Structure 1
Amino acid sequence: MFTILPIKGHIDQIDGFNCDGISAGLKPNGNNDLGFIYTNEPCDVQAVFTENRFQAAPLKHYLQYEEGFKTNFVLINSKNANALTGKKGIEDINTIFSSLSFDLVNPIMSSTGVIGNPLPIDKIVKGANSFDLNAKSGENLARAIMTTDAYEKSCMYEVKLEDGSSFKIGAVAKGAGMINPNLATMLCFICTDAAVPLNDMKEALEVNSETTFNAISVDGDTSTNDTVMLLANKKSNTYDKEAFIEAVRLVMHDMAMLMVADGEGAKKAVAFEVRNAASKEEAQKAAKALSNSLLVKTALFGEDPNFGRIASTIGASKVISDEEKLVISYNDVVVYDKGELCFDEEQEAKAAKVLGNDKFKVICDLGVGEYSFTAYGCDLGYEYVKINADYRT
């Protein structure tokens, strides 16, 4: 038995983890743009990355380390992705780390921002050399890694085991646009003092990615820098595998839902639940088709309960389905029921009221099997175009 309790604060509350964020001059508005996570002792690390074929230089740099390596330092910058920068992008990372004035053990760099520009090495080195490695400001770090995010993203939990022992786990993340299933334009750093074995760290990330970061979509695009990283220093001397995997799931789910809710210009966070599909794969395929559909997203933005767009998207996904078995609902308001049109004036008004909320479900019961999957998305409106038209400026 175990209990998982949310607690206030940031990852700096976890014993042995320090962090901070500063302005190094990468963002012209003077906002924080460079941050770090530092551990008093080297800790175990595992990560999952984007499936984009053009992985950014920080990901390639990480993958040069031997499996099972330990680290004591993660450097994170915003405004510049260091992606599509060739071999020089990796060389620039090595130059930065060799220019820092403190001891590093297998340092890691993570970047987010504009693709195709070389790193401003001098600014990053000057900023990083000003870090106070004893600082504990998770809020500053959360701000430093933001790009188009409207707000900081973090969470913390304490896990209490039956014998009275406990460990903590928390995360800091960024992500608001260019988000698609198979990770997203996002960075997420999960820290824990649990005494978790390295193999269990990898399993926890892989098992929980499917229903969290791999189930969200803002605009159907997958970026070059997407990273979910798990750091464990084992200082609590406490561990329970079942509790740990569930705690990682909660942390990843929290961060994923904050990203969807913060979709660039988004006003609505929507769960697309597909029920009774012929297989697990078909349930995922249909749910993700709905979360990615631009026609569905724009209808949600207009608060138009146009079930025809829902049905059309299900059909276009080519999953096994039959209009005589299909049921479509907005929350508990049924608008299409196994070939019967329920979309009279009264039901349309009820459905429109559901779409007026900032959170709701679109439920599609295919009626052809027993498998279900929920994908998460948001609406798409004018602000999204404005943000991305001006992204580089």
Structure 2
Amino acid sequence: MFTLYSLKNGLANVQGFYCDGINCGLRPDPSQGDLAFIRSDRLCDIAATYTTNRFQAAPIRHALRHYGKRFQGNFILANAKNANAMTGEAGIADIETILAALPAEAEAQNPVMSSTGVIGYRLPVDKIVKGLDKLDWHAKNSDATARAIMTTDSFKKELCFEVELENDQSFRIAAIAKGAGMINPAMATMLCFIATDAAVPADEMEELLEEAVSLSFNRISVDGDTSTNDTVYLMANGASGAYDREAFAEALRKITFELAMLILKDGEGANKVVAFEVTGAANDEEAAIAATNLSNSLLVKTALFGEDPNWGRIASTIGASGIACDEEKLSIYYDDLLIYNKDNRELDPEREEKAYKIMKKDSFRIRCDLGMGTGSFTSYGCDLSYEYVKINAEYRT
């Protein structure tokens, strides 16, 4: 048994971790951060998951070249406004230059870098290197760190939980994330840095992280696009001396899932977060295909924005997904309201009015029972608004 509590101030709560964020000139507004770090005062075991995009950005290529997806280190440097993607070997060399410039007081061991922003431009190395002098290596400024990695995000994303174990030991786990656009359930487009003082065995970290990501970031979609820079790092320094696999796995699942929901809530121009629950599929794999297609569908997303209970868009998306399905067996529900089955193909005025009320909510569930088997899967999406087009049409300006 264990008890989980929510704490304020994110990364600042975790033993042995320090963090800060400043403006080094990548953003024109000096009040907005664009460079941040997270470090531990002792060596950490680190596990990572990266984008499935074949054009991986230079920071990911650098990390994979030197360390792989599981390694020991204690330091992450992150910047906004520039993705350092599609920059070739020069982009990797720029990272080497920046990391080599870290001062001795940073106490960096096997440092890695993460970047987010516009694709196709090399990092302004001089600005970033000069910015290193402005960082406070002994700060615990989670707020500034979380804000410094934002791009089109409208709010910071940081969480922290304390977990008390049955033996009166406890550990803490905290995370910051960024993400609002280019979000697709393929290691969704975002950065997430997780720090814990739990004594997690090194050989368990990758499995635990992959499970948590599969249940959170890999189930959300804002626009169906996958970026070049998606990264999740889990850093465990063992400072608390406490660990319980079940408790840690639950805390990790909870923090990644809640951050994923915050990313959806902040989807560029989004107004609604919707769970797409597919049941009765021939198997879990086909349920996942259907649910993912629903969360990615532009027609479904625009119907959500228009608050139009047009079940035809739901049905046609399932039918186009290529899975086994039959209109005679299909049932569609908005929350618990039956929208469609073979005996109720048209919405009567009473059910349509109820459907409109559901669709006006900030969050609700669309459940599709395919009647083909026992497979199930839930993905999560949001609506697509005029604001999304405006934000992305002006992304570089």
- Say yes or no: TM over 0.5: yes
Percent identity over the alignment? 59
Q: Single out whichever of 197-206 and 97-106 deviates more from structure 2.
A: 97-106
TM-superposition CA deviations, 1:288-322 (whole Å, max 9, x none): 00000000000000000000000000100121111
Q: Single out whichever of 337-346 and 232-241 deviates more from structure 2.
A: 337-346
| Pairwise CA distance, 1:89 | 0.4
Q: Extract unaligned runs of 5+ from structure 2.
A: none
TM-superposition CA deviations, 1:83-131 (whole Å, max 9, x none): 0000000000011111222242111100000000000001101111221
Q: What is the CA–CA distance in structure 2 between the aligned matches of 1:229 and 1:249, rounded to whole Å?
A: 14
Counterpart position of 1:63: 64
Counterpart position of 2:47: 46
Residue pair 2:192, 2:233 contacting (<8 A) in 1 also: yes
- Indicate which of 159, 163, 172 corresponds to 1:159: 163
Q: Write the letter of the residue equivalent to 2:82.
A: N
Counterpart position of 2:212: 208
Q: What is the CA–CA distance in structure 2 between the aligned matches of 1:158 and 1:319, rounded to whole Å?
A: 42
- Indicate which of 288, 310, 316 corresponds to 2:314: 310
Q: Secondary structure at the match of 1:119?
A: coil
| Pairwise CA distance, 1:44 | 1.1
| Pairwise CA distance, 1:65 | 2.4
Q: Secondary structure at the match of 1:51?
A: coil
Q: What is the CA–CA distance in structure 2 between the aligned matches of 1:199 and 1:99, rounded to whole Å?
A: 32
TM-superposition CA deviations, 1:142-191 (whole Å, max 9, x none): 11000000100011111111111111001100000001011122000011
Q: What is the CA–CA distance in structure 1 between the aligned matches of 2:371 and 2:295, rounded to whole Å?
A: 20
Counterpart position of 2:132: 128
Q: Write the letter of the residue equivalent to 2:379.
A: A
- Indicate which of 224, 230, 234 corresponds to 1:230: 234
Residue pair 2:45, 2:73 contacting (<8 A) in 1 also: yes
Counterpart position of 1:324: 328
Counterpart position of 1:26: 26
RMSD, aligned α-carbons: 1.0
TM score, norm. by length of structure 1 = 0.98
Q: Does 1:78 align with 2:76?
A: no
Q: Single out whichever of 98-107 and 228-237 deviates more from structure 2.
A: 98-107
Residue pair 1:325, 1:339 contacting (<8 A) in 2 also: no
Counterpart position of 1:100: 102
Residue pair 1:172, 1:190 contacting (<8 A) in 2 also: yes
Q: What is the CA–CA distance in structure 2 between the aligned matches of 1:139 and 1:371, rounded to whole Å?
A: 42
Q: Secondary structure at the match of 2:154?
A: coil
- Indicate which of 250, 264, 268 corresponds to 2:272: 268
Counterpart position of 1:179: 183
Q: Secondary structure at the match of 1:135?
A: coil
Q: What is the CA–CA distance in structure 2 between the aligned matches of 1:167 and 1:130, rounded to whole Å?
A: 31
Aligned residues: 393
Q: What is the CA–CA distance in structure 2 between the aligned matches of 1:209 and 1:39, rounded to whole Å?
A: 23
Label 1:341 to 1:137 Cα distance change in 2 as closer, same or farther (>3 A). Answer: same
Q: Secondary structure at the match of 2:228?
A: coil
Counterpart position of 2:145: 141
